[in-house]
Amino acid sequence: MADFSNQVTFITGAGSGIGRATALAFAQAGAQVVVADVNETNGQQTVAEILQLGREARFIACDVANPDDVEKAVKYTIEQFGRLDIGINNAGIGGKYARLVDQTFDDWNRMLAVNLSGVFYCMQSEIRQMLVQGGGKIVNLSSIAGVRGLVKAAPYTAAKHGVIGLTKTAALEYVRHNIRVNAVCPVYTHSAMVDELINSSPDMENRLRRAIPIGRFGQPEEIAQAILWLCSDENAFCTGQAIQMDGGLTAG
């Protein structure tokens, strides 16, 4: 396992699912973790689980769709731990499962505000600090919906494609500043977001599972390990990539 001792890690949406699993994995690997989430109860629960591991963590309430919140959350991270080594821009929403003509302007605007603008705001604040420090690592959560179309998810798909564009461009702009920026693209992974989709119709789970060559959904811990690998110093040559964590889906 890579060693992240004393590396300060800021993770949005770390109150649940992939974000929580990633926060715990970084803490287990020695990192100090700041959990940023709109859901205070869940965010504090992640902090409590990290403290039980004997590691350091803080919670900060943050709506990633609000640039002031994001700036304050990154500032809080510096105040608490003195620096920012790793930014994991994971907070996201699933949005309405409906065809394009049935998505309202509000559905569209909220989706882009959280899943795309949120990543932009986070990267701005994180990279400003990393430039001062002389380096850092960033991983953005895209999706298989960032590399292919997904029926009944046009706003989500647009936002996740956008996240990959932001990732590649930031990687190129800051590679000579010792800042690496990558994305992960999970297929359906067990989490609150996916449970909501599964529960929307009786055969949904089987239908989704059948489409995945490996024959099952991902686990948040599996996505977390890919994120840690992307951030590890042993992986110093990797930047600007969107890594598919999809049980073979996009290989076909």
Ligand X SMILES: NC(=O)c1ccc[n+]([C@@H]2O[C@H](COP(=O)([O-])OP(=O)(O)OC[C@H]3O[C@@H](n4cnc5c(N)ncnc54)[C@H](O)[C@@H]3O)[C@@H](O)[C@H]2O)c1
Is 174 designated active site?
A: no
What is the C-alpha to C-alpha distance for residues 70 and 48, in angstroms, rounded to an integer? Answer: 22
- In the list 24, 27, 38, 116, the residue contacting ligand X (rule: CB under 6 A) is 38
Stretch in the footprint of ligand X (CB under 6 A) among 24-32, 91-99, 123-131, 204-212:
91-99
Q: Which two tokens stand for residue 132?
A: 């001062």
Q: Which two tokens stand for residue 203?
A: 């055969």
242 binds ligand X (CB under 6 A): no
The interface mask with ligand X, positions 42-81, x = CB under 6 A, is x-------------------xxxx----------------
The CA-atom distances, in angstroms, between 158 and each of 56, 100, 193 are 36, 11, 18
Active-site residue among 76, 121, 156, 174? 156
DSSP H or E stretch at residue 120: helix 118-133
Q: Which is nearer to ligand X, 18 or 50 (CB)?
A: 18
CA-wise closest residue to 115 among 169, 153, 59, 149: 153
Q: Which two tokens stand for residue 148?
A: 């292919």
CA-wise closest residue to 110 among 156, 46, 175: 156
CA-wise closest residue to 173 among 141, 128, 222: 128
125 binds ligand X (CB under 6 A): no
Amino acid at 153: A
CA-wise closest residue to 242 among 169, 162, 166, 184: 184
Q: Which is nearer to ligand X, 3 or 15 (CB)?
A: 15
Stretch in the footprint of ligand X (CB under 6 A) among 9-17, 126-134, 168-176, 235-243:
9-17
90 binds ligand X (CB under 6 A): yes
Q: Which of residues 187-226 bind ligand X (CB under 6 A)?
A: 188-189, 191-194
Q: Which is nearer to ligand X, 178 or 196 (CB)?
A: 196
- Please list the active-site residues: 156
Contacts to ligand X by CB under 6 A:
12-13, 15-19, 37-39, 42, 62-65, 90-93, 114, 141, 143, 186, 188-189, 191-194
